[in-house]
Copies of this chain bind each other. A is one copy, B any other.
């Protein structure tokens, strides 16, 4: 096992993330610590980091170094961004950090920061084309990507903290100040004409973007608190922003979704996003919970595990990761998945579902047993909970919920179980019908390897005039499997309106 520590000394906050990479290649995060450093505010008039900046960075780095030792980190990757990058005495600080903690704090360029943020996004969000903004305390990185490849990028030296200070918007923001700030920002952004991309989504990375996503979730009573891959319209953002602009600091401290330690810098932060929306013309915002730190992780991980830097299929990679994390032997899960997909493909005329649903069935089938980690009893329900709450990349929130429901339902969890959980808004009757069909296919597949003996070597599902036929090719007589699959024949007739006959081939 490798234990990887990633440290990111930003201009607003500092973070330490520790992840494990197991021998089988699976990884997970085991620790995450955030410190509100606010380095962008600890500069003197000449832009040099103050003594306070040195002292607080050193204290934070010592505490991070302590945690790295506590967690037995084998490898520590530490980067510093805008605040330290822009300060003439930044290198002095990193030398001091190295001398005192033994950790090399790399000052990365704006371009590198943009590229690594892009790596964090592209490996975790299912989006082919878009504009990423990584809005930090002291800089904003902008990246245009098409077909998942980076096309343009730039790092601009304004972020939520230094823009707050520049326009003095900690408390309130008068119309005059707002218009000054917009003029300043828009003129900087207009120097990058490739930003005009009104048909692409604007993808937000960093605390300001996440906070605005959370505020929109509270306002719209969104039935989940998942922030990664949360989508909302530019219009919704404008509504929030115009509301924010009329508030005082005290009022903002009470807004749901807005943490009180961010209440002072949110006006400038949201102001930057507002100008980005105006410049790009984007109509949709997507929040990415992953950025620089995840980019650094994937950069290390892909080299260490000899995998492509940009995962060709992020759903596939993260499903494999979760499967491997929780399942010592994946043979059974993979066999079930093959059987379920064979039925899906052959019975298209029965279920009439498109290939997006195929991907959900595949994910549900691969992960249908991970709940054994929590308790063998009722493990289908626990698998559903874990699928809904694990870090699966490559699915929309609704798709993740459907996948979770397929895994739970195939073993008898009712619609009511999910309905109780306030997901009503995400799933309509069509979704439930699809879940019912796919749960049935998964249940049939599981019946076919009930004894986990791989006795069924192949299946041939087909449709005849008035019924569906499933021919099994087996080693010997698979009596347990034949018995099990017959339990589902009534369900099949109910769902698809035709009889299912099972025969040995």
Contacts and interface: CB of A to CB of B under 8 A. Distances in A.
A376 B420 contact: no
A373 B382 CA distance: 13
Contact of A67 (B59, B386, B452, B479): B452
A376 B30 contact: yes
Contacts of A32: 376-377
Contacts of A373: 373
A32 B29 CA distance: 31
A12 to B, nearest CB: 17
A375 interface: yes
Contact of A389 (B289, B375, B420, B453): B375
Interface in A260-277: none
A394 B29 CA distance: 32
A63 interface: yes
A68 to B, nearest CB: 12
Contacts of A453: 63, 66, 70
B63 A376 contact: no
15 contacts: A28-B376, A32-B376, A32-B377, A59-B479, A63-B480, A66-B451, A67-B452, A289-B377, A374-B389, A374-B390, A375-B391, A377-B391, A382-B389, A420-B420, A420-B421
Nearest to A228: B377
A391 B379 CA distance: 12
Interface string A361-385: 0000000000011111110011001
Interface in A20-50: 28-32
Nearest to A31: B376
Contacts of A67: 451-452
Contacts of A386: 374
Contacts of A190: none
7 closest A-B pairs by beta carbon, nearest first, are: A29-B376, A374-B389, A375-B389, A32-B376, A375-B390, A374-B386, A63-B451
Instruction: Give the number of copies in the complex.
Output: 2
A420 B416 CA distance: 12
Contact of A378 (B28, B389, B420, B452): B389
A461 to B, nearest CB: 26
Contacts of A28: 376
Interface string A417-458: 000111000000000000000000000000000011100000
A225 interface: yes
A420 B389 CA distance: 17
Contacts of A422: 420
Q: How large is the interface on A (under 10, 10 to 19, 20 to 34, 35 or more residues)?
A: 35 or more
A124 B389 CA distance: 30
Interface of A: 28-32, 59, 63, 66-67, 70, 225, 289, 328, 372-378, 381-382, 385-386, 389-391, 420-422, 451-453, 479-480
A374 B389 CA distance: 7
Contacts of A378: 225, 389
Contacts of A385: 374, 385, 389
Contacts of A289: 377
Contacts of A29: 376
Contacts of A225: 378
A67 B455 CA distance: 13
A70 B452 contact: yes
A453 B63 CA distance: 9
Contacts of A59: 479
A470 B30 CA distance: 31
Contacts of A391: 375, 377
Nearest to A18: B376
A390 B453 CA distance: 28
A372 B30 contact: yes
A188 B346 CA distance: 60
A289 B378 CA distance: 13
Contacts of A382: 389
Contacts of A372: 30
Contacts of A381: 389
Given A32-B376, A32-B377, A378-B389, 7 more contacts: A29-B376, A63-B451, A63-B480, A289-B377, A374-B389, A374-B390, A420-B422
A374 B31 CA distance: 13
Contacts of A420: 420-422
A312 to B, nearest CB: 24
A29 B423 CA distance: 32
A425 to B, nearest CB: 14
A451 to B, nearest CB: 6
A310 B30 CA distance: 35
A31 to B, nearest CB: 7
